[in-house]
Structure 1
Amino acid sequence: MNFSTKIVYLVSLLLSLVICFPAVKAYAEEDKQLIVVYENKEGEEAVRESDAAIDETYDNLPAAAVTADAKTVRDLKKDPDIKYVEPDSRIYSTGSSTAVQASSQILNQWNLAPIQASWAWREGITGKGVKVAVIDSGIYPHQDLNIAGGYAAVNYTTSYKDDAGHGTHVAGIIGAKHNQYGTDGVAPDAELYAVKVLDKAAAGDMSDLLEGIDWAISNKMNIINVSIGTKYKSKALEDAVKRAYQQDILLVASSGNGGAGHLVNYPAAFNEVIAVSASDSKNNIASFSVVGDNVEFAAPGSNIYSTHLGANYAIMSGTSQAAPHVSAMLALLKQQHPTETNNQLRLRLQQNSKDLGEEGRDPLFGYGLIQYQSDQTKSYQQALDAVQLTEKRQTLANYDKAQQVVKGLSNSEEKQSLQKRLDNIKQVIILQEAKDKVSKAEKSKQNKDIAAAQSAANKVTNRTEKKSLHNRLDKVKQALLVKEASYKVGQSEKSKIKKNVDIAQKAIQSLAKGKDRTILQTRLNKVKQSQFHAANASVKAAERSPADKNLKKAQSTINELQAGKDKDSLQKRLEKLKKKLSDAKKLSDATYKVKKAEKDRTKKAKQAAQSAVNKVSSSKDKKTLQTRINKIKVRR
């Protein structure tokens, strides 16, 4: 072989050997991060003497976090002094992954009212002197928070400063200052301790969570808040929470997100831990909240304002936000009852809750929604229930009962709020009552119903609604007026007498201009025309035969006419007839008396004749009769 051929051969041989016989290290199993829990000192010593790299030991837990290969793990598991070995699993926050930034001003926190936090503050209960460990992503040095101290269990920093925002949000729910700025914490004077076990992605290792709990035990925390969850049931974690509970520490944890159908996360699912589900602003379980038999209480967890990184505030949702409400409420109770044990306070919290959902403990709300309760809050709760019942039933009877209960409360923002709600629902009730009465008036078209509807509509304060009701009533009134006017026109059509025509005309004039008024006026005008025709015929009959009977009939028909040109014309014609008949009567009477005087020639007869002649209007006839009287006087 030449040199180049030999080189190619040797390279090919080496490659085939690498493929057939890989390096020994390729066969080695990867090292694993583990938690080793030992039974005794001998077990602890066995861990130290093993090939495992010890990453963390604990002051209060018989355990160590280690990194070891498969052989070392097998050896440890076989050791009778080792209790158990488990993987160092991952843990995560149970809040929303995104936060909406809110402006730095006094923010509207709906979550405080349902748990009646302000009643505690009014009574001087603020969580003062109670130590709360927030085991989370740390706490940012926010201007609205007082941080009493803390610890970093993570490997990448020694600072407990929050770099994820989750822990700061949780801490603000518990203890944000009451400084007329930003948000108010439920227990503003509680001592907040930042125990950082999560990284900037709000995730971490079980070994760090154990380290955080271990620190809380060593530093004699009263309450531990763990807004963290895992589906993995770690025995090491169970042992840790048991050890903390034995040290009289209250542990509160979020039930988890994902909604119904998912199991409650750990550590919340352990008996020693208070598992908290999340409620919304309507006191319903939030759609994202994990529920189950382990749930002990519910608390607000949907769209919660709280502190965040920098000087910011944020809205976040999750059972992570529900749990700190419970921790803060326990801080209030601990201040009130400093000598009570964690068991006693846990039972007391049951008494300080509002039973929701099924009666008694249920998988959604547990024992119920947490609430601060006292004699004042019980009175407030009664008033609130009465107001809510009024809002539901919307009757004046319920309103009156609720008003009496609200009046009995001492002056406070809560009373003002309830009174405002009552005032609003009263207007709703008044409006509905007015609408019902207007509807009744529209159907019946009875004056009594219209009057009742008018009175009810006048009490409505909403201008738009009031105007609408008045418009509807005006239509009812108009319809009724049309009905009445139509009836009166009908009466005038039947009787054709002036009285009824006048009444009908007045009724028509009260109507609004429009089709109905025009139609009725036309009908009445026909009645009036008919009256005119009748009067005209009577006058003509009198003109043809000017007898008293005909004149009286003509006058009677003219009297039934409405004042006006036509009536005046007929009356003038009749007056002429009356005068003509009167003159004829006077002439006849004078002629008769003159004739009698000519015959009797007595003074009395002559005087009577003269008097009668004087009344004659016709100068010619009068002159003739006067000549005859004069002749009688000459013959005397």
Structure 2
Amino acid sequence: MKKKLLMLIACMLTLTTILPLHSQASTPAKETDVIIVYKNQQGKQTAIDQSEKVNAQYIHLPAVAITVDEKIVMSLKNNSNIAYVAENKKGQLASSENEPSTSQDPLVQQSYNLQKLNIKQALKDRVTGKNVKVAILDTGIFPHQDLKVAGGKSFVDYTSSYKDDKGHGTHVAGTIAALNNDYGTVGVASGVKLYAVKVLDKEGEGDLYSLLRGIDWAITNKMDIINLSLGFEDHIPILRSAVDTAYKKGLLVVAASGNDGKRGSIGYPAAYDSVIAVSATTEKDTLASLSNTGKGIEFSAPGKDVISTYLKNEYWYATGTSQAAPHVTGMLALLKQLHPKKTNAQLRTLLRSYTVDLGAKGKDQHFGYGRVQYIPQSTFLKAATSAVKKAETSKTQADVNRAKTKMSRLTANKQKMALTERIKKVQANIDIRSARAKVKTAEKNKTQGSIKSAQTAIHKLSKGKEKSSLQKRLDKVKKHVAYQKKVTDAKQKVKKAEAKRTKKTKASAQQAVKKLKASKTKTSLQKRLNRIKV
């Protein structure tokens, strides 16, 4: 009996020893790709230390892309040194409708989109975006005979080559920069330095961390313009930070609005303020049906049946906002060549002058400020000359301001210099009239506000007798006001001394009275002081 009991206990002990080995068997840790946006170096180091793999460290963004155990993500989110944790979302190109070209000679004269943009005139004027650095963040660029690629980088995981294996990036590249030669088509800005930044794969798909690396690369390598014919459906804070940083660093960022046919809603990053959002138009200057629209649309450009370079030295037609965006990128490159000293913000504003207004008058949700179009300097010179002449006749500030705006479109040359001198004379006469009126007002009102306004007006004047005369008149007003302040101060202190009757208040009042000039007021105040006994 005892032997049976011992055997039963032994079996039970064996089971309790064996069973937990199965119930406690460790399950494989689930890993996830995230982007850690840190507040400081301590936060960055924490993310790196807790990661399974570091996928990317960014130069211009406070972020690091890592692979990490899902269980650790929550602790990272709660870390006070980390701003937030972003999911490594999937993005894709603004999908296009493609078909091969049957024409063996699609010259610029036969391409409606380039006719709309007046590129033949730009070529005649030798405005080609020469040496402007343009980065195309896309599927790469195929080594096409009608393209010249200055360099680039691949950020997809299966190849170190930026060679296009989809066709989309090559089509975008041709729209911007197809060479001006005797065959094929020609780009809007055939003289740019073209850079292929491969952030999308052969399916036209990519992830957020690769796109951020591409933007980071563009900033580091001092690109002038970034073209993004791709997007995400949702707002992504770190993507916004990336394009904002690029813009603050002086780059222009252009993006397709999206091809979902949505009205009142555009994709990201096109929707961000630092990005120029582009909608697509047709040959008849109507809105392409697939184009997304909304308040963020800044410009529009041809996006329907656009012919451009493709894989294997072919030329294909494509439709989409992906095709519209590079037209705007090319136009900005032309402006960059014409106005190399203007900032990215100034060029962005200047592009409004190179548009054809479509749809509702002024800026609207479908076409923005209008469909872009190259305008020769001769047209702007004629408008500026007329505006200067009008300002010389009217001598009003409003007309001078309008003339200056029109002159800002001109490149630096002798004609612009001559107009500048003429408008300076008109402005000088207006400034003198203004300064005279404001000095007169100051003499009448004798207030600090009127004095300040008059002084500002005088500072605008060039050195000369007129400026010296007005300054002397204003100085008299200033002295008068300053003296009246002393009188007021003395009166207040005497009144205080009469009320409190202390040595301190009387001494303070006496000191204030002594600063006054000999006058009835001073005599009266002194008599009042003398009557105070302390």
User: TM-score, length-normalised on structure 1?
Assistant: 0.55
Residues 1:131 and 1:51: Cα distance change in structure 2 (over 3 Å) = closer
Task: Please give the alpha-carbon distance, in whole angstroms, between the structure 2 residues aligned to 1:98 and 1:32.
Answer: 35
Task: Please give the alpha-carbon distance, in whole angstroms, between the structure 2 residues aligned to 1:51 and 1:378.
Answer: 58
How many pairs are equivalent? 366
Task: Please give the alpha-carbon distance, in whole angstroms, between the structure 2 residues aligned to 1:233 and 1:193.
Answer: 27
Alignment of 1:617-636 (within 5 A): none
User: What residue number does 1:530 align with?
Assistant: none
User: What residue number does 2:311 align with?
Assistant: 309
Residues 1:22 and 1:368: Cα distance change in structure 2 (over 3 Å) = farther
Counterpart AA for 1:38: Y
How far apart are residue 103 of structure 1 and its match?
3.9
Q: Is contact 1:136-1:196 (8 Å) kept? A: yes
Q: Is contact 2:336-2:347 (8 Å) kept? A: yes
Q: Is contact 1:38-1:81 (8 Å) kept? A: yes
User: What residue number does 1:53 align with?
Assistant: 53
User: What residue number does 1:209 align with?
Assistant: 211
Task: Please give the alpha-carbon distance, in whole angstroms, between the structure 2 residues aligned to 1:380 and 1:168.
Answer: 39
SS of the residue 1:321 aligns to: helix
Task: Please give the alpha-carbon distance, in whole angstroms, between the structure 1 residues aligned to 2:178 and 2:271.
Answer: 28
User: What residue number does 1:242 align with?
Assistant: 244
User: What residue number does 1:367 align with?
Assistant: 369
Residues 1:283 and 1:147: Cα distance change in structure 2 (over 3 Å) = same
Alignment of 1:73-92 (within 5 A): 73-92=73-92
Alignment of 1:575-614 (within 5 A): none
Residues 1:39 and 1:133: Cα distance change in structure 2 (over 3 Å) = same
Alignment of 1:386-535 (within 5 A): none
- Provide Cα deviations, 1:373-423, integer angstroms capped at 9, x if missing partner: 135567999xxxxxxxxxxxxxxxxxxxxxxxxxxxxxxxxxxxxxxxxxx
Unmatched segments (≥5 aa) in structure 2: 1-14, 384-534
Alignment of 1:222-301 (within 5 A): 222-261=224-263, 263-301=265-303
Counterpart AA for 1:237: L
SS of the residue 2:157 aligns to: coil
Counterpart AA for 2:306: I
Q: Is contact 1:127-1:335 (8 Å) kept? A: yes
Unmatched segments (≥5 aa) in structure 1: 1-12, 382-636
Q: Is contact 2:97-2:320 (8 Å) kept? A: no
Residues 1:181 and 1:22: Cα distance change in structure 2 (over 3 Å) = farther
Task: Please give the alpha-carbon distance, in whole angstroms, between the structure 1 residues aligned to 2:49 and 2:127.
Answer: 52
How far apart are residue 106 of structure 1 and its match?
3.0
Q: Is contact 1:126-1:187 (8 Å) kept? A: yes
Task: Please give the alpha-carbon distance, in whole angstroms, between the structure 2 residues aligned to 1:181 and 1:380.
Answer: 35
Residues 1:97 and 1:115: Cα distance change in structure 2 (over 3 Å) = closer
- Provide Cα deviations, 1:329-365, integer angstroms capped at 9, x if missing partner: 0000000000000000000001111111111110000
SS of the residue 2:307 aligns to: strand
Counterpart AA for 2:257: S
Q: Is contact 2:94-2:322 (8 Å) kept? A: yes
- Structure 1 window deviating more from structure 2 (230-239 vs 219-228): it is 230-239
User: What residue number does 1:603 align with?
Assistant: none
SS of the residue 1:328 aligns to: helix
Task: Please give the alpha-carbon distance, in whole angstroms, between the structure 2 residues aligned to 1:358 and 1:43.
Answer: 50
Task: Please give the alpha-carbon distance, in whole angstroms, between the structure 1 residues aligned to 2:35 and 2:338.
Answer: 39
Q: Is contact 1:106-1:180 (8 Å) kept? A: no
Residues 1:261 and 1:21: Cα distance change in structure 2 (over 3 Å) = farther
Task: Please give the alpha-carbon distance, in whole angstroms, between the structure 2 residues aligned to 1:344 and 1:262.
Answer: 27
User: TM-score, length-normalised on structure 2?
Assistant: 0.66
Task: Please give the alpha-carbon distance, in whole angstroms, between the structure 2 residues aligned to 1:344 and 1:123.
Answer: 22
SS of the residue 1:56 aligns to: strand
Residues 1:155 and 1:118: Cα distance change in structure 2 (over 3 Å) = same
Counterpart AA for 1:44: K
SS of the residue 1:126 aligns to: coil
Residues 1:175 and 1:380: Cα distance change in structure 2 (over 3 Å) = farther
More helix by share: 1
SS of the residue 2:219 aligns to: helix
Task: Please give the alpha-carbon distance, in whole angstroms, between the structure 2 residues aligned to 1:237 and 1:321.
Answer: 22
Task: Please give the alpha-carbon distance, in whole angstroms, between the structure 2 residues aligned to 1:63 and 1:183.
Answer: 41
The CA RMSD measured in Å over matched residues stands at: 2.4
Q: Is contact 1:89-1:232 (8 Å) kept? A: no
Higher RCO (CA < 8 A, seq sep 6+) = 2
- Provide Cα deviations, 1:488-528, integer angstroms capped at 9, x if missing partner: xxxxxxxxxxxxxxxxxxxxxxxxxxxxxxxxxxxxxxxxx
- Provide Cα deviations, 1:293-319, integer angstroms capped at 9, x if missing partner: 010000000000000011111011110
SS of the residue 1:113 aligns to: helix
- Provide Cα deviations, 1:424-479, integer angstroms capped at 9, x if missing partner: xxxxxxxxxxxxxxxxxxxxxxxxxxxxxxxxxxxxxxxxxxxxxxxxxxxxxxxx
Task: Please give the alpha-carbon distance, in whole angstroms, between the structure 2 residues aligned to 1:71 and 1:31.
Answer: 9
Counterpart AA for 1:48: I
SS of the residue 1:67 aligns to: strand
User: What residue number does 1:350 align with?
Assistant: 352
